[in-house]
């Protein structure tokens, strides 16, 4: 038994979410509708997977559905928006480079070229951060939707 009074085999999302413990210290067992509701209300619990892992064990629910839900939790925990941010950065940086080259070829004054570069760098960084944030938000939305679907499945399944 740990200092918190929880044993690793009986810790649920609802118990940890209400206790103020961090997800780093205890493994999770997701097995009830209350666990899913708590997970839906505070999905940031799973932004970092616990080192001892977690167990998805819904009585009466198909094992494939449970495994798919577990994969969705892992996918949400790994979602960082890096792919979207990198793609946006590359596209915006390439667009900026082409714009600067075209501007220089049109024999514009150096001050206007420098202005375009400074504004362009700001926009590249801003759009990169925005796409990263949007990607993380979409991952959270997909995760909450999947939790709601699993909750509907769990409530429709007779015990």
pLDDT digit string (tens) for 24-54? 556 677 888 888 888 777 777 766 666 667 7
* In contact, 21 and 38? CB cutoff 8 Å: no
- pLDDT (0 to 100) of residue 156: 80
Burial of 150 (0-12, 13-18, 19+ CB in 10 A): buried
Dist. CA 159–CA 150, nearest whole Å: 15
Cα 89 from chain centre: 20
Indicate the pTM of the whole model: 0.70
Q: What is the pLDDT of residues 102-154, one digit of tens each?
A: 998 888 788 888 999 999 999 999 999 999 999 999 998 998 888 888 888 88
Cα 33 to the center of its chain, rounded Å = 22
Q: Output 48 or 77, whichever has higher pLDDT.
A: 77
Using CA atoms of 42, 48, 54, 60 in order, give the dihedral in degrees to the nearest 10: 40
Mean pLDDT of all residues in 88-107: 93
∠82-88-91 over CA atoms, to 5°? 140
Quick one: pLDDT at residue 90? 97
User: Could you give the C-alpha distances from 2 to 7, 9, 14, 21, 45, in angstroms and in order?
Assistant: 6, 11, 17, 12, 19
Largest CA distance in the chain: 76
């Amino acid at each position: 038994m740990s200092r918190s009074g929880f044993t690793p085999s009986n810790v649920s999302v609802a118990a940890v979410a209400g206790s103020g413990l961090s997800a780093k210290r205890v493994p999770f067992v997701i097995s009830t509708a209350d666990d899913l509701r708590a997970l839906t209300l505070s999905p940031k619990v799973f932004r970092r997977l616990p080192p001892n892992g977690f167990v998805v064990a819904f009585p009466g629910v198909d094992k494939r559905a449970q495994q798919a839900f577990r994969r969705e939790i892992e996918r949400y925990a790994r979602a960082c928006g890096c792919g979207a941010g990198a793609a946006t950065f590359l596209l915006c940086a390439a667009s900026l480079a082409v714009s600067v080259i075209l501007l220089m070829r049109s024999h514009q004054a150096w001050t206007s070229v420098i202005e375009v570069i400074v504004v362009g760098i700001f926009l590249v960084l801003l759009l990169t951060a925005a796409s990263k944030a949007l990607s993380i938000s979409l991952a959270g939305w997909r995760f909450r939707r999947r939790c709601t679907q699993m909750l509907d499945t769990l409530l429709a399944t007779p015990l």
